[in-house]
Structure 1
Amino acid sequence: MHGPQRIVCLTEETTEWLYLLGEEARIVGISGYTVRPRRARQEKPRVSAFLDGRIDRIVELRPDLVIGFSDMQAALADKLIRAGLNVLITNQRSVAEIFATLRLVANLVGRSAEAEAWIAACERRHAEMRAAAARWPRRPRVYFEEWDEPMISAIQWVSELIGIAGGDDVFPELAVQRMGRDRVIADALEPARRAPELIVGSWCGKKFRAEHVSARPGWAEVPAVRRGELHEIKSCDILQPGPAALTDGLEQLHRLIGRVALAED
């Protein structure tokens, strides 16, 4: 069998991707936050959170590769490296970088052909969405909120997915900032001033409270608030830089944005 035989996945998107490739037998441990695919929680031991993990348990699993995501897992990766394990941390932020990471992982397990077929189908669907949105009478302004206290706007891949889905991110200048702390909105009235027609919340695993957003001082006249266009997309569907965001998360954005774009004024 090609490549690593015993893989620990510190984040959900790698687990989901390996299952989609038919290589789930290689997975020996997963993140406790994993919900996609649902069966992974029954089949695989949960050995980590996001920022930390059970180092002794991970070592006991004898992985020949541990795969994680982002600079936020640097401390966890350091512990695992010091424990003598091979660790791969990816740091994808854009749609193009997500595709590149999917290709990298697929190549590691000898599934490049299957990956290319999946990616090609995904890109065809993205092109269909762009074509559909081009026929809409307008592109709605979208405010995507990743966290509420402090307010954090869309990460780059989410901002790009909003564009593919037919809308315009109201904070494009923040989306290019790779670190969450650099996407913090200091002025609580600034999103209201940008007059989004759609507000989408995905509060990193915490339930989005549309009524709390609507009640923010100075937000009553925001078009999205007046029309009741405040919606949640669960973080597992949009904030994991892997297959889910490129498919289910994007499909949800497309439906929400399309409804606003085609609504009668």
Structure 2
Amino acid sequence: MSVDKVFATPADAVADIPDGSSLAVGGFGLAGIPWFLIGALLEQGARDLTVVSNNCGVDGAGLGLLLEQGRISRVVASYVGENKEFARQYLAGELTVELTPQGTLAERLRAGGAGIGAFFTPTGVGTLVSEGGLPWRYAPDGSVAVASEPKEVRTIQGREMVLEEAIVTDVALVRAAVADRAGNCVFHAAARNFNPVAAMAGRLTIVEAERVVEVGALDPDAVHLPGVFVQRVVPLTPEQAERKSIEKRTTRPRPVPSPEA
């Protein structure tokens, strides 16, 4: 008999996340983010959160909602992105931000899930990433209150590389296109982004799925994330599954056909 990991609602799935938790959150901008788990956590009230994510949503959406309510105290991300409130809190000294190269961030999450404590990479050698001094937190007067420490650098196979530590979080929140009741997941196209590695990094991983199927319905070769990494699955309603936004829509006018065409 397989293990059934399905929870009825997002609120049920996040109800026991305490203050001070660290969260790995999937998505890139607004693509593939766990909209309803984030919303449920907003309603649940957990505070003093450390968030590990590619970015921190946008103003008024995604993780940006938790940020606006002062519920996040530290962010590990690859960029600030389009979120003006994120930038304001960081520069005002209200938020600790550990900026990490994007590929390095993905590998730190994957390594955490794989049980690897640290790894060496050439990315960041010769910069503040390896030499230290990146401003993690500013003081109210604009000076640097907390800066990154220097990291170990070794020459490996004739190339200098910097030591990066893996990331393991208390909880992971991710969005899948399809999941079975045992937690095996399939992601769709660009929504795959940071979701699999974020899921791997969480001690407790919660998946909101656009569609939940019975165990055995998924072709094993099609599974992107094995259920061993997932503890809770939340099925979305068809209306919830339709919620997919983008940060910016940029278009150009269609060319007008010439009369001779």
Q: TM-score, normalised by structure 1?
A: 0.27
Structure with more relative contact order (C-alpha pairs < 8 Å, separation 6 or more): 2
Looking at secondary structure, tell me which structure has more strand per residue. 2
Q: TM-score, normalised by structure 2?
A: 0.28
